[in-house]
Chain A
Amino acid sequence: MDFALSEEQELLQQSARDFLARECAPTVVRQTMATPEGYSPALHQKMAALGWTGLVIPEKFGGLGLGLLDLAVLCEELGRAAVPGPFFATAVLGALSLVHARGATAQQKLWLPQIAAGEALATLAVSEGEPCPTPAAIRTRCTSTRSSFRLSGTKLFVPDAHVADLIVTAARTRGRDADGVCLFAVPRDTPGVTVRPLPDVDQTRRPCAVELRDVELPKSARLADEPAGWRALSRVTDAACVTIAADSLGGSQRALEMAVDYARTREQFGRPIGSFQALKHMAAEMVSEIEPARSLVWYAAYAYDHEPRRAGLAAAMAKARLTDIYSRTTNRAVQMHGGIGFTWEHDMQLWFKRALWNRTAFGDAVFHRERVATLSV
């Protein structure tokens, strides 16, 4: 029984925190989010140089071969700094889609080393606009000829597709259920692929619409066939849930610290507002949600790596709980700041809005609570 981060994980946590405090302060976040691409290639290169983009990529493909707990520790720090850009899209979604695409070695050999090195960006196109990631929600069609596949449909809310070199795309060959779902490696420059960013309130993120009009792909583009396609996809979306939960944890912790710092120094009625119980109790409620939830995130990541039968349940619990907490925490943190917290110039908006994106991406809390109920009631 040892439920704690390893020394290496604590080192990763601390070095990531120091690095991001240096390289990605809120002023940098603001400069970056004001650019059309919404990311800093220079920062991405530095993160790649630290091994972060290849953290969960096997060593034989140029990565570090670490587990989801390590990635979650890192994503907590990225959430803490509200890092803009395609890290989640490429190092979580893109990388794990390829890692779980067993049997697609050629595609793995082609893309994974480039992703690990920071030379290529990737993402995953699964949503078509419905709030819940279920098999029935995947309607993009795939027809097959002797030598090729042809994809048609519209993917929505695809993270950072506008800069991705590779868009791993879920499409179906038949039916409406999980059995017809396949995954395809679609280079963004394939004829028939059109990408249009969807302006998001959270400017640290760039969800896109991806239009696929008779996109012709070689047979080798199939990453996972039916029914392995849905299985691989569920693994990736579970990882997405855990890392979004970790991002939410880091963001919640940051929002709490900012609110407490402010309440300690801001004076009203001749005393620091942090001496008023109304504010103390708000802050304590944040702590009493965040601290136990940290253990839930760790467990979900641990289960993903070591207890596959519990992984889906744990991912659903973490996603629902942490995104709820992130919304509540940033809401309270804005209130603790008073009017200044509602301004554009104050940094709290960065985390408040990031909580909005985290809430609905890859299924909202209602969807994941129903998953929990299905698996345990």
Chain B
Amino acid sequence: MDLSFTPEQEAFRRQVRAWVKANLPKRDPEAGSLESGDPRRIRMLKAWQRKLYDAGYVAMGWPREYGGQGADVVQQTIVNEELIVARAPGLVGGMGIQMVGPTLIQHGTEEQRRRFLPKILTAEEIWCQGYSEPGSGSDLASLRTRAELVGDEFIINGQKVWTSNAHFADWMFCLVRTDPEAPKHRGISYVLIDMKTPGIAVRPLIQMTGEPGFNEVFFDDVRIPRENLVGELNQGWLVANATLQHERNMLGSTTTTQMMMNGLLRLARTCQRNGRAAADDPVVRQQLADLIIRVETMKYHAYRQLTDAIRKRPPGIGASVNKLVSTELNHDIAAMALDVMGPYGSLGRGAADAHDRGDWPIHFMFSLGLIIGGGTSQIQKNIISERGLGMPR
């Protein structure tokens, strides 16, 4: 065991840090959030991703022939850590890079890779995920959106829901039912849909944070070419399962958690409780220590998983454990921050007296959303017990 980085890796970290410092985009207080779909924000984020890509820092692990650097996971981790520590904006094209890109590399045709991967990397095309439906959330395989193959075209009818970013996405990777007679997992196909295709209607849903972010998407005789099928017809479940693991990992980043924990500690030192800093209250100290221990635990656990990835050991149910533990930990940190602030804890964005610009109640709500999205905690527990422990269905 050796937790140090090599001199080359340390040098690489310094180089990344310097680059990020010099190129970090300025905050535009006028621009609305990404969730609101404000074109100014989206323009800024696309430009930022393009810059990152030109510097070689986007999807570094991808093979060179598809625009990656063929970099190892440690370099990738270093870049991610530096971006988060610098509070850089997240990648607007994250869904493409984390989910559809790897799927195309694994299951796509050469034509599909050449057509889509470059624009995923540069954020020229933004992607959204068409999985959930009104009747198919946790039981995703029960989805009913139909795609009928007529000649060289699929004709799609149905509805998706909770579709993040659909209100500004250019493309959707989507699960559709192509064989209604087959057992539910065997009649699904994975297709790519141009969001400008006639017959698509997007209706934003407002999140409890007050902003849109996810949407309902309606398909009314939407025609897409057959070549937008990824993998075999009716084998979409296998294709999608690979990407779901990527999503669970994406939802459980420890660096974000550590940043939140640092923020909570700052609050505890500054907010008062019974005439002294909250951080001096014995009960608060117990709770803070418990959270610190959980955060540190996830940090070392991430090192272990990183090592497993370097050694190319299969992750097993690790992604589900990560998703379950990290989202709940983030929510607990935000909840404690609200307690530490006392009545200030419920002041939202825009309130002059709010601590940390009123971010904490948003973190609190958003982290609850992440406990649900990408498979609820309960679904992760089913996966862990059934696939990890072999408990009967």
6 closest residue pairs by CB, A with B: A284-B381, A369-B289, A280-B385, A3-B303, A295-B300, A284-B384
Whether B1 and A281, one on each chain, are in contact in the complex, defined by CB atoms closer than 8 angstroms, is no
Q: Does any Cβ of A come within 8 Å of B386's Cβ?
A: yes
Chain B residues within 8 Å of A264, by CB: 390-392
Known: A295-B301, A298-B300. 6 other contacts (CB 8 A): A2-B1, A275-B391, A370-B285, A372-B289, A373-B285, A377-B268
Whether A4 and B321, one on each chain, are in contact in the complex, defined by CB atoms closer than 8 angstroms, is no
Whether A69 and B1, one on each chain, are in contact in the complex, defined by CB atoms closer than 8 angstroms, is yes
- In chain A, positions 293-330 with a C-beta closer than 8 Å to chain B are 293-296, 298-299, 302, 306-307, 317, 320-321
Complex Cα spacing A288 to B317, Å:
10
Which of B213-221, B291-299, B367-375 contacts the other chain?
B291-299
Complex Cα spacing A317 to B265, Å:
17
Whether B304 and A372, one on each chain, are in contact in the complex, defined by CB atoms closer than 8 angstroms, is no
23 contacts between A and B (CB under 8 A): A1-B74, A1-B306, A3-B1, A3-B303, A4-B304, A69-B1, A280-B381, A281-B385, A283-B389, A283-B391, A284-B324, A284-B384, A284-B385, A287-B384, A292-B325, A295-B300, A295-B301, A299-B3, A299-B303, A306-B3, A320-B289, A369-B289, A370-B282
Whether B297 and A295, one on each chain, are in contact in the complex, defined by CB atoms closer than 8 angstroms, is yes
**Cβ contact of B285, chosen from A2, A280, A299, A377, cutoff 8 A:** A377
Whether B386 and A1, one on each chain, are in contact in the complex, defined by CB atoms closer than 8 angstroms, is no
Whether B392 and A275, one on each chain, are in contact in the complex, defined by CB atoms closer than 8 angstroms, is yes
Complex Cα spacing A293 to B325, Å:
11
Complex Cα spacing A377 to B280, Å:
9
- In chain B, positions 189-248 with a C-beta closer than 8 Å to chain A are none
Whether A281 and B381, one on each chain, are in contact in the complex, defined by CB atoms closer than 8 angstroms, is yes
**Cβ contact of A6, chosen from B1, B293, B308, B317, cutoff 8 A:** B1
Q: Does any Cβ of A come within 8 Å of B311's Cβ?
A: yes
Min CB gap A7→B, angstroms: 12
Classify the secondary structure of B's interface with A.
helix
Chain B residues within 8 Å of A271, by CB: 392
**Cβ contact of B384, chosen from A3, A5, A69, A288, cutoff 8 A:** A288
Min CB gap A325→B, angstroms: 10
Whether B382 and A288, one on each chain, are in contact in the complex, defined by CB atoms closer than 8 angstroms, is no
- Pick from A285, A288, A302, A307 the residue with the most CB of B within 10 Å: A288
Q: Does any Cβ of A come within 8 Å of B136's Cβ?
A: no
Q: Does any Cβ of A come within 8 Å of B110's Cβ?
A: no
Whether B382 and A1, one on each chain, are in contact in the complex, defined by CB atoms closer than 8 angstroms, is no
Chain A residues within 8 Å of B298, by CB: 292
Chain B residues within 8 Å of A293, by CB: 297
Do A296 and B296 contact each other (CB < 8 Å), given the known contacts A2-B1, A280-B381, A320-B289?
yes
B interface residue numbers (CB < 8 A to A): 1-5, 9, 74, 265, 268-269, 279, 282, 285-286, 288-290, 292-294, 296-298, 300-301, 303-304, 306-308, 310-311, 317-318, 321, 324-325, 378, 380-382, 384-386, 388-393
Q: Does any Cβ of B come within 8 Å of A35's Cβ?
A: no
Whether B5 and A376, one on each chain, are in contact in the complex, defined by CB atoms closer than 8 angstroms, is no
Min CB gap B298→A, angstroms: 6
**Cβ contact of B300, chosen from A3, A69, A306, cutoff 8 A:** A3
Q: Does any Cβ of B come within 8 Å of A41's Cβ?
A: no
Whether A277 and B300, one on each chain, are in contact in the complex, defined by CB atoms closer than 8 angstroms, is no
Chain A residues within 8 Å of B389, by CB: 260, 283-284, 287
Whether A1 and B289, one on each chain, are in contact in the complex, defined by CB atoms closer than 8 angstroms, is no
- Pick from B265, B286, B300, B384 the residue with the most CB of A within 10 Å: B300
Chain A residues within 8 Å of B388, by CB: 284, 287
Whether B4 and A1, one on each chain, are in contact in the complex, defined by CB atoms closer than 8 angstroms, is yes
Whether B9 and A1, one on each chain, are in contact in the complex, defined by CB atoms closer than 8 angstroms, is yes
Q: Does any Cβ of B come within 8 Å of A366's Cβ?
A: yes
Whether B391 and A280, one on each chain, are in contact in the complex, defined by CB atoms closer than 8 angstroms, is yes
Min CB gap B280→A, angstroms: 9
Complex Cα spacing A372 to B291, Å:
10
Name B311's closest neighbour in chain A (CB-CB).
A4
Complex Cα spacing A374 to B248, Å:
34
